[in-house]
Structure 1
């Protein structure tokens, strides 16, 4: 016990004597460990956050969409409720979603006309719909008492992008003014505003009570969507097939598409991108850990080299190799512990910062970032192993040399090798002082290689991150240019269904005095 306390006190003295090196080593280990822990947790954090957000928003298990037509609400809901698995239906609600144009004015008075949607929802609970909930983030809450109120709630991403007030008025197609009472989120629009990648503008979605949507669109008692949630453990595929058969029998005149949750584009993108993005972050973590390892090896070898004389004196006094290795080994262990403990803090801080960035890019209703013990344990193990490996090799070399050689200066013992003698044979320009850096590099090529590799790893991380950000910025710029190509006065007109090119509706748009040129297009889902 006394011997152990003696070694600890001696090692603590080494820590105090070389506190700058200790701080540098601990910082390098902390950065490597923290980055590995934070980046390694991203996939699980995103998956937990997606699950929590969709649970909070009550996303549908099955969605029925009537293709380019509307049906009577009672008939559609009755058809769904007559399937054999009716006991498994937790909630069944109808919706009316219609395209429109939305004219908004931001706080600077700039007017913008956007493609939008009127989303009519059934207010079946005191907090609004129970399926694909509309969660109010700002303004007055939405509830069953608003069933007949002529008021809307703006989709949050759309309202934020155009810096709209918390309450106000917008105009929709036909010049109709609609008052809104706040901002809201819903599962179908979690990626709203991210369409610039594909040249698609933000959707100006207005959530209104179903009755109000029917009055605004002239579709009395009509819906074009049915959303269903199921009890836990239900065979979703069987219910999907049963609903499809029931609709074909009850409303054969209205073709319908019956999709499950995984068919939803927003849902699929949010989950499929997790594994793809994690590969990139794993690559960045490897680069950072590699740079940390190289820097640790370099600094650790310098610490052992500084103790070379003391190791030689100990060997001359008769101490064996294991006893000589205790002191530098304890130094490495203590530095590793300090680095790992600091790395936990770095990981938590970095995770908090990354979550804030992700929340700005993708404002989910809930973000869950619990500490991932398994990932942290792996990162901590690497943080412990790196300095121990870095200090182990020079310790083995130091204790295996003869005491007389260990006491003498290292480059005198080794003679510098062939590389160390080569500058003397070369006619280099400049003075002898100018030759010193070249001689030093050639005298200790391993140390120079470690330094260059560490700097190279840092540069590689920097270039990779800047390249990614530059690519993202370029893609967004292309999307924005595509969106506004031809001038800011370009307007996209969405029709209610498919029309022939020579249709009177298309001709009427072309002949408007305000229209200089009109180009018909066809957009179909793929």
Structure 2
């Protein structure tokens, strides 16, 4: 009997192999997405830790404030005198301009030279990892030698070695590519720059000093701490020692506060939350599809189950045969799930590595994750089969054996639904009646479509949200001038100084304005005057002329008043701080007192809120620089290219003028790091959308195929009366289309709720500096839904051959 049941189940599998494989593949998509995306998260977390350990990323980084520098050895001396510091290295960092040729076109981008020990002779804090270990730059060469960061070289497809021009007219040879923990992920503290427009060059310290003209100078110190050392205490001692001994103000940054580290280590777990949500919804949809189809397959064997009960076979024996079908579906789902999961994981890894390249990236097989997914995927079809079989064996044998034309399948709603008047003739009413006479079956099918379409809506909506956020941010910054730029000076200069005036008078510059940008820490002020230290934001406060006719920030709340002492916050910053118009914030900022830099704290009122999605951007009127001790000074100049000049013309002209310019950057380029950061999510969402569309097609195909099988007698009757096959297929298409339309409506509503949850709660946790602007591209959404409806409507065409070749007398024969 055991052998007989096995052969019988194999016969069932051979007869329904298309449905079994399709249901198994439906489950495999849910299994694969969960296991594949979860594996990538584990790979990233392990690889990030090992990469940071191998390159010895700093625990603390101290930088001389406001672009200053000190003699080499002075920062090292301070570190040697403070307990708790283990290793330390002095560096010289400065911004420059990098010019080269990429793909036959001139490339002029922001550059950053990092002068450090790149010899590899001894362990170095924040070391570089060379792609080719034999390509190390040498000191003392006629032409300075450097390493270029791998992300930039890969993006622009640069040769393995070549020549770059920095600072306007200094040629340097790059001898290879490298990565450093500080630049595994290219994100700046002000949210600007990215892998495509930031060329980080690693050079020997002496070469960097020569290029910058700062002979024997350093401005940066990276340190690792001894186990158990208090980072806060070391920071305080370091700042006090520098101020008292050398009169130098240091800005100290911990590893955990480094923007690139936050993005690198924080995003995998946040991304996993989004992956879990996507995978769970898809798996639920796939599980309901398997439940629905398995149940319908078992119900089609109702008479055979009744015959088994009539001859005295025990219910637990009857259950074995259909359970074997469930086991077959589960095994196929598990095997295909591993294949799909690994394919998704490898494709996702390629997307992840394009955004953040790690020197060590391990990809061990995640047996635990796949085991969980496969166990769940195996249990679903078994339980899906068990439920209808248990229902079937609980009825009387005579009711189970009764022919379908004598048995009611309408359920408890059948008598009610039968009284609903419908227009048209019998054939026109048939798709509606078919849906209404089996409400449980219809509901399960509708649920599977709804889940899939909801995920597709959410994925498309997230892509549109990212695009709108970036576009609105650029529109606010540019003010209608696509080539608006900012010139960063290498120090603070009086507004009437030659350095500032040379920039304003440059023939390539038009509508230039001197301004100031300073970093500040902002905290909400409590009503009792206390400060909530748990919520502090580091902002870039830009002092601009609120009365300017060239450009001012847009005030969506409050107003901009020339000479007003208040601050203008981004909408995202205001919401994060929990403040509104008229509320007070505590601002800690650098100040210039008697020619020396120090820190000062003041309370400012929020006068206005601007719509830029980047919360780091804050504004004050230019007249308020005097209250911070910087009256009459400037460190940036903004403007637009003069008629007949391009942005590259401005960059080349200003860097070659020797006017103290350290950086010329188009404001349209400042969102590049955000675009790079979102690229990974966009890539994962695109991969997910492909599998969702595949899932919709599978569900539609299975629905049509099983409907043809379980209604074979109905269709044979229609053929016997002369109704053509194309009309039967058209009815099935209308039935699917009706379900599809309802699923589109429900899926759109549910998908929009998912979109709001991801955009307003999940994405801000992954990228906290961006205020997402939820947007939906309705044309793209409508096209996607039309394609989904077309797939659902056309699915009955595939079993058309089965209908055409049907043996009508055999289907109509009734044995009583």
Q: Distance in 2 between matches of 1:392 and 1:274?
A: 39
Match of 1:98?
94
2:407 match: secondary structure: helix
Cα RMSD over matched residues? 2.9
Pairing partner for 1:110 from 99, 106, 109: 106
2:312 is aligned with 1:318 = yes
Match of 2:785?
none
Match of 1:59?
57
* Pair 181,371 (structure 1): closer, same or farther in 2 beyond 3 Å: same
Match of 1:125?
120
Match of 2:295?
301
Match of 2:401?
407
Contact 2:63–2:252 under 8 Å retained in 1: yes
* Pair 240,197 (structure 1): closer, same or farther in 2 beyond 3 Å: closer
* Pair 363,480 (structure 1): closer, same or farther in 2 beyond 3 Å: farther
Q: Distance in 2 between matches of 1:443 and 1:183?
A: 68
Match of 2:347?
353
Q: Distance in 2 between matches of 1:385 and 1:265?
A: 44
Contact 2:31–2:377 under 8 Å retained in 1: yes
2:6 match: secondary structure: helix
Match of 1:78?
77
Q: Distance in 2 between matches of 1:220 and 1:352?
A: 48
Q: Distance in 1 between matches of 2:179 and 2:94?
A: 18
Match of 2:37?
39
Q: Structure 2 matches for 1:184-203, cutoff 5 A?
A: 184-192=178-186, 202-203=197-198
Q: Distance in 1 between matches of 2:442 and 2:30?
A: 21
Match of 2:222?
227
Give the number of the structure whose residues are more often helix, by fraction.
1
Pairing partner for 2:285 from 291, 300, 322: 291
* Pair 471,147 (structure 1): closer, same or farther in 2 beyond 3 Å: farther
Contact 1:140–1:181 under 8 Å retained in 2: no
TM-score by length of 1: 0.89
> What's the CA shift string for 1:372-391, capped at 9, x where partnerless?
33322321222122112211
- Higher relative CO (Cα under 8 Å, sequence separation at least 6) belongs to 1
Q: Distance in 2 between matches of 1:187 and 1:13?
A: 60
Contact 1:94–1:121 under 8 Å retained in 2: yes
1:356 match: secondary structure: helix
2:14 is aligned with 1:16 = yes
2:328 is aligned with 1:334 = yes
Structure 1: stretches of 5+ with no match in the other structure = none
> What's the CA shift string for 1:314-363, capped at 9, x where partnerless?
11111222222122123212321331232122212211111112112333
The number of aligned residues is 517
* Pair 233,183 (structure 1): closer, same or farther in 2 beyond 3 Å: same
Q: Distance in 1 between matches of 2:193 and 2:63?
A: 25
Contact 1:34–1:350 under 8 Å retained in 2: yes
* Pair 226,419 (structure 1): closer, same or farther in 2 beyond 3 Å: same
Q: Distance in 1 between matches of 2:212 and 2:270?
A: 42
Match of 2:510?
516
* Pair 490,207 (structure 1): closer, same or farther in 2 beyond 3 Å: farther
Match of 2:706?
none
Contact 2:187–2:260 under 8 Å retained in 1: no
2:73 match: secondary structure: helix
Give the number of the structure whose residues are more often strand, by fraction.
2
Contact 2:69–2:219 under 8 Å retained in 1: yes
Q: Distance in 2 between matches of 1:415 and 1:382?
A: 31
Q: Distance in 2 between matches of 1:387 and 1:266?
A: 45
Residue 513 (structure 1) shift = 2.8
TM-score by length of 2: 0.59
